[in-house]
A and B are shown apart, each in its own frame.
Chain A
Amino acid sequence: MKRLRIILWLLVGLAALAAGGLFLTRSHQSSQNVQGPDAIGLGIGGPFTLIGGDGHPFASTRLNGKAHAIFFGFTHCPDVCPTTLARLVRLRRELASKDDAFTIVFITVDPERDGPAEVASYARLFNAPVIGLTGSPAQIAQVKKQFGIFSQRVPDKSGGYSVDHSAAVLLFGKTGRFQSTIAPDEADSVALDKLKRVTGNS
């Protein structure tokens, strides 16, 4: 009898494990289906210290308390980068009357050309609060790694260079948890829905 009881309890335990495993697999799959990058992006972000437009260290903890959108680009980028940042400013204004629904952060992937002065003036292009950040090449490389950002210099004919880089805007909740991305070719309505979710404004 005692042995039978042990076997039965073992079976119950196995069933519970199987059910739990099934549940985990299911929820993992559904979160992948619904949220896209969320499921694979749980490790994206994390603490960093860079250099602000004022030349002083900027710790990522200063972003806590409010949802934030982070975009990686470079100030010699006249087209895609200002288009992306201007769009974020515009969407933020569609979300709330003041420019405070979420924080917009621009991090350069070109620290060799973009010092604090460059990122500061770039952030001022939009007549709205945008935080511009740079750092040493090592700091930028580390942050790129943390955020899963690709960038590569491409020489041009006149001796200068352009930079190919990840185009997506990364969205984080107010605790700094990665939540979603906005791609440049995504409709404004889709981007707004994501921003509403991230800011808890839906």
Chain B
Amino acid sequence: MKLLVAPLALMLLASCNRDPDPQISVADAWTRATVTPSQPAAVYLKISNTGAGHDRLESVSSESGAKASVHESSLADGITRMRALNEGVAIAPNSIVEFKPNGHHIMLEGLPTALSAGTNIAINLRFERAGDVKAQVRVVDGPAAHGAHGHGS
């Protein structure tokens, strides 16, 4: 048995090494305008992986110094819940992961100023394999921001 296991393990290792690269891009990032800096903001965006390799969004940071964390909202039995995704978010090969209202979002807390519509904020997304990917987040008017429609860049 041992004789069999060793070559198998080697083969597995070799296949890991040959795992293709992910190709990560981030698009359509937007958030709602806020009135006071004390109010947290939720950033929505689309993460595309056009490569054949797996990846994982590990963390997010904001150039403004605001604390950024990935959250998921869920609805069950009429109760809405919001939880931090401390393990990050898996990005499968050849997939688009959409962060949208009432689903995944990046929460920004402790922004230095309120966010006004028409401006942009810069964030950095850190992926396990693709490394850092920067994104410009469009700040849109509160009522204009509904769901995932009409926010193409």
Contact = CB atoms under 8 A, between A and B. Distances in A.
Interface of A: 75-80, 82-83, 86-87, 89-90, 93, 118, 121-122, 124-128, 150, 154, 156-158, 162, 164-168, 183-185
B82 A168 contact: no
Interface residues of B, number: 33
A125 B33 contact: yes
B143 A127 contact: yes
Contacts of B145: 82, 86
Nearest to A156: B84
Interface stretch (B21-29, B87-95, B100-108, B131-139): B100-108
B109 to A, nearest CB: 8
Contacts, number: 95
A166 B35 CA distance: 25
A122 B108 CA distance: 16
Contacts of B101: 79-80, 83
B102 A184 contact: yes
Contacts of A126: 142-143
Contacts of B80: 80, 164-167, 184
A76 B75 contact: no
Nearest to A125: B142
B79 A166 contact: yes
B141 interface: yes
Interface stretch (B8-16, B36-44, B48-56): B36-44
Nearest to B84: A156
B90 to A, nearest CB: 20
Contacts of A127: 141-143
A87 B32 CA distance: 13
Interface string B48-90: 0000000000000000000100010101001111111010000
A184 to B, nearest CB: 6
Contacts of A157: 84, 86
Contact of A86 (B67, B105, B107, B146): B146
A121 B36 contact: yes
A79 B39 contact: no
Given A121-B36, A162-B82, A78 B42 contact: yes
Contact of A79 (B73, B78, B84, B86): B73
A75 B37 CA distance: 12
Contact of A121 (B39, B86, B108, B146): B39
A76 B40 CA distance: 6
B124 interface: no
B34 A125 contact: yes
A183 B82 contact: no
Residue in A154, A166, A167 with the greatest tally of chain B CB atoms within 10 Å? A167
